[in-house]
Every structure is written in C-alpha cells, then in structure tokens.
Structure 1
Amino acid sequence: MKMAANGRFFTIGIVASWYSSNIGVLLLNKYLLSNYGFKYPIFLTMCHMTACSLLSYVAIAWMKMVPMQTIRSRVQFLKIAALSLVFCVSVVFGNISLRFLPVSFNQAIGATTPFFTAVFAYLITLKKEAWLTYVTLVPVVTGVVIASGESWVG
C-alpha cells in the first residue's frame, strides 16, 4: 500500500515538474524573443536541444532511470533522424511564433494538436481512433476557435 502511494506521489511530482518546466521554457523564450529583443530563435532551439540531450544522457547512462537502447538498423536510425528533424523544426517555428503571438494564444493553438494528430493519423494510415476520441476533441477545438475569435476581435 505504501509503495503504491510513493509511486503515485513520484508520478505526480514528475508530471508537475514537466508541466512547470514547459511553462518556464515558454515564458523565458517569450521574454527573450519579445521583451528583451533577442533575435536568434534558432540559437534558443539549439540551447534547448543541447540541454535535452545532455540531461537525457545523464538520466539514462548515470541515473539508470530507463534502460539504454541501441539502434538496430539503418531504417530505424533514419526514422529517428526524421522524427528529430521534424521536432526540431517544430520547436524553431514555435520559438519564432513567440515573437509575434501572445503566450496564451500560442498555448491555445497547441491545445488543438491532439485533434489534428488524430485526423492526420487517419488520413495517412487510415487507422481510425475510437469515435469517443473524436467526440472528446471537438469541444477542445471549439473552445480554441471561440477563444481565438475573441482575441482577434477584442
């Protein structure tokens, strides 16, 4: 019983840390790019990616939080490289957008990601999600549309 409670608190702590660090990075990037006048969003992305790589290595190799994995084939390497490139481009464009958009609008647009992921997954792989998945995403997108419309009007 005590082990389960400890595991639950650990999970809550990890999620809270992840959430806090995401907010911190977003606000710091917004401050540097908009308020401070820093003009190098790609440099910020490079710092972000370097820190993620180093901290991930520490967590895997030294702290043994998850087992080390090896790349088994050239195809797997190319898939990982493509995913890394797409993620990097996403972070660069996200950082660039912070110069022109309020953080709240940036986060609202980000909230639509699960909806578009489900739609594009269907269009690309023809794999359907459960109908309940699509139904639960409609209010999220509707809320973002309403909030976005108000931010443009008001």
Structure 2
Amino acid sequence: MKEVSGRLFTVGLVTAWYSSNIGVLLLNKYLLSNYGFKYPIFLTMCHMTACSVMSYASIAWIKMVPMQTIGSRIQFMKISALSLVFCTSVVSGNISLRFLPVSFNQAIGATTPFFTAVFAYIMTVKRESWLTYVTLIPVVTGVIIASGGEPSFHLFGFIMCVGATAARALKTVVQGILLSSEGEKLNSMNLLMYMAPIAVVFLLPATLLMEGNVVGITQALARKDINIVWYLLFNSTLAYFVNLTNFLVTKHTSALTLQVLGNAKGAVAVVVSILIFKNPISVIGMFGYAITVTGVVLYSEAKKRSK
C-alpha cells in the first residue's frame, strides 16, 4: 500500500511539473502573441517578483527546505552574476514567443545540451567522450532542418530563442563553476530565493527604459478587461511552480528518470501547443524536431555511459 501511494505521489508530482511547465509556456505565448500584451521584460519581472515572494514563504514559513545563508560578499556577487544570465535567458525566451510558435520554440530549446557542452569546454576545458560529441550532431542538424521547414519562421524570434537556449546552458555551467565549493553550494530553492529579487532589480530599470509606461498601459488594459490581471497573477504563480515542481521531481526521482521525463516534456508541449494554437506545421519541420529529440536522447545515454 505504501509503495502504491509513493508511486501515485510521484505521478502527481510529474503531472504537476508537466502542467506548470507547459502551462506557463502556453500562457506566455497567449499573452505576448495572441492577446497582444507585448511587454516580455515586464512579464518576466512579474514572474521574478512572484518567485521572490513565494520562494521566501516556502522556505521561511512553510519550512519546505532548510534556509541556507549567503556566507560572503563574493558569494553574493556570484549569485548576482548567475541572476543576470538567468534574466537574459528568460527575457530572450519570452521575446521569442512573440514571433515564433511554441512548437518551433521547443525544437530550438532542445539544443541546450549542445550549448552546455560548448560552454563547458570553453570555460572549464572539460572534454567529453568522442561519442558524446557525435550525438550532438543530430541535435543541431534537426534544428537546421526544422528551421528550413518552419512555415512561421521569423529571424529575430529565432535569434532570441537561440540566445535564450545558450543563456540557459551558460547558467548551468556557470553555476557549476561559481558554486562548486561545499561552503557555497545552495539547493535550487534557496538559490531561486536569492536570485529572484536580484533579477527584479536588474529587470526594473530595463522595463522602464525599454517598455515605457507599461504599468500605466497595464492599468488601462485592466479597466477594459480585468482578465489581464488574473492572467498575470496566474502566469506568475505558475512560473514559481515550474521551479518548485522541478525541485520536487528531482528530489523524488533519479537523474535518469528526470532526463527521460524532460525529453518527453518538450514533445508533449509541442503537441499541446499545436492543438491549442493550431499553428501551421510541415512534415519537414516535424522530421527535424524528431531528429533533434533523438539526438538529445542519445546524448543523455552517452553521458550516462561516460560516467
């Protein structure tokens, strides 16, 4: 009975992880593209504000994980640098959703292992096995094929999405370098609690400088359609739950299970987005995406064998 309840709990966690990930992605697309709320930096700032408040509440009040403290000014500077890279990734990803369908966005996002391997080699001179590098060929080739067959291809959106993917990979590598000593390691929930408010500090001037009177515009929109307020609140809450469920799934499953589930999540997001937004797709585009996903699976297998 205990084993069955444990499995049901894990299934529930994975379902919540998938739902929050895909939900925030689709809602971002709806707001930035279909609804016409063209303020990706402000949207990201809303996400980070929610993550600041809710991660502090989860740790300080609910005691979900023990609170870890920042031990030095140097560690604070390292976390700030991580936060800046994180901001770049999220903002670029949100900007790309204004111009690209979710399906193509996910295809490009699947190339994260390629950028991770490149940055790891450049910054740490860490060499992988030759087989691992070979598996990266279909990862990149698939996206090139998908790009050529994408009916809704947009160059600026494509550049933003590649930038977001590269920044996401850079954060992973930089985090491993900067917070590598035992005294500086933070679990992902504590790291988010410190990174999110720093991100708000970065994003606030960027919002005011690049998106003008976005607060006034949002208030004017709310007077016409109060739903925008609920969309932003729900979207920001989902952004926190993406991080929370990712942490819980990582804690309650193996690294291999997480990799498999992560690969499948992208494919599920593609199918759901096509069903909801009905964006045009081509056989070539889907073929390219399938090659990329296959490459990611092979890459994960090669990494596991090389350990």
TM range (shorter): 0.7 to 0.9
Residue aligning to 1:113: 112
Size of the aligned set, in residue pairs, is 153
Q: CA deviation at 1:132?
A: 4.5
d(CA) in 1 for partners of 2:57 and 2:135? 38
- Note closer, same or farther for the CA distance 1:28–1:67 as it changes in structure 2 (3 Å cut): same
Q: Deviations over 1:115-145 (max 9, x none)?
A: 1111111111101234444344433333222
Residue aligning to 1:51: 50
d(CA) in 1 for partners of 2:140 and 2:62? 40
Residue aligning to 1:72: 71
Q: Deviations over 1:25-70 (max 9, x none)?
A: 1111111111111121111001111112222122212222221100
- After superposition, the CA RMSD in angstroms is 2.3
Q: Which moved more, 1:138-147 or 1:35-44?
A: 138-147
Q: Which moved more, 1:57-66 or 1:68-77?
A: 57-66
Q: What secondary structure sits across from 1:99 in the alignment?
A: helix
TM-score, normalising length from structure 2? 0.45
Q: Deviations over 1:62-121 (max 9, x none)?
A: 222221100011111111111111111211111111111111111111110121111111
Residue aligning to 2:17: 18
- Note closer, same or farther for the CA distance 1:69–1:27 as it changes in structure 2 (3 Å cut): same
Within a 5 Å distance, the mapping from 1:54-133 to structure 2 comes to 54-133=53-132
Residue aligning to 2:28: 29
Any stretches of 5+ residues in structure 2 without a counterpart?
154-281, 283-307
Equivalent residue letter for 2:62: M
d(CA) in 2 for partners of 1:127 and 1:85? 24
Q: Which moved more, 1:13-22 or 1:113-122?
A: 13-22
Greater relative contact order (Cα < 8 A, sep 6+) = 2
Any stretches of 5+ residues in structure 1 without a counterpart?
none
d(CA) in 2 for partners of 1:6 and 1:64? 23
Asked whether the 8 Å contact 2:38–2:98 carries over to 1, the reply is no
